[in-house]
């Protein structure tokens, strides 16, 4: 498995993998699948030097990805805090790919100018919670009942890891 900076040609696979999580439910707060045109500006806003998107690929097929985004963009006191979001294609889950993607970002933390990584997950996303805890992330905050999935409410959990 190769982990590299995403290119624009990876965007269809990134969206396809993300939409699997939308359809599964409680893995992202989006309620309907996205289209490529919905994410073009998002992709362009992820500059490889500070806020990259990495993809994990096997024989040029994208199997998972992780994005690094500014936390509370524009607020300079928070410039060294980055939010990570990660998704793995359904067929490759529970094979260590999520671990590899997060560890890749942790190792790249100096390059991307990060001192703190945050992962914000829905409290129903038990697999992600277990993964983050395994990698040393701690629960730093809880927003109860902020997401509404057609009447089923769940919270947002803030997991953090100090990397530098």
Residues 80-98: pLDDT tens digits? 999 999 999 988 777 899 9
Check which CATH number belongs to the domain holding 114 and give it. 3.40.630.30
Cβ distance 13 to 25 under 8 Å?
no
Specify the number of domains making up the chain.
1
Model confidence over 1-36: pLDDT tens digits? 899 999 999 999 999 999 999 999 899 999 999 999
Domain interval for residue 87: 2-162
Q: Taken in order 22, 102, 98, 46, is the CA torsion positive or negative? A: positive
Identify the bridge partners of residue 122 per DSSP, sorted by sequence position. 156
Neighbouring C-beta atoms of residue 145, cutoff 10 Å: 10
Q: What is the pTM of this model?
A: 0.94
């Amino acid at each position: 498995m190769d982990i590299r900076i995403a290119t624009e040609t990876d965007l269809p696979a990134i969206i396809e993998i993300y939409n699997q999580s939308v359809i599964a439910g409680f893995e992202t707060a989006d309620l309907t699948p996205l289209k490529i045109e919905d994410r073009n500006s998002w992709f362009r806003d992820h500059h490889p030097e500070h806020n990259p998107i990495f993809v994990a690929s096997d024989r040029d097929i994208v199997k998972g990805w992780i994005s690094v985004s500014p936390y509370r963009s524009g607020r300079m006191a928070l410039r060294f805090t980055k939010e990570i979001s990660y998704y793995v294609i359904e067929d490759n889950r529970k094979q260590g790919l999520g671990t590899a993607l997060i560890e890749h970002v942790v190792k790249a933390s100096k390059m991307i100018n990060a001192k703190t990584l945050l992962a914000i997950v829905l409290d129903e996303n038990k697999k992600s919670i277990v993964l983050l805890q395994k990698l040393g992330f701690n629960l730093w905050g809880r927003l109860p009942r902020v997401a509404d999935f057609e009447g089923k409410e769940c919270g947002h959990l803030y997991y953090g890891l100090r990397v530098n």
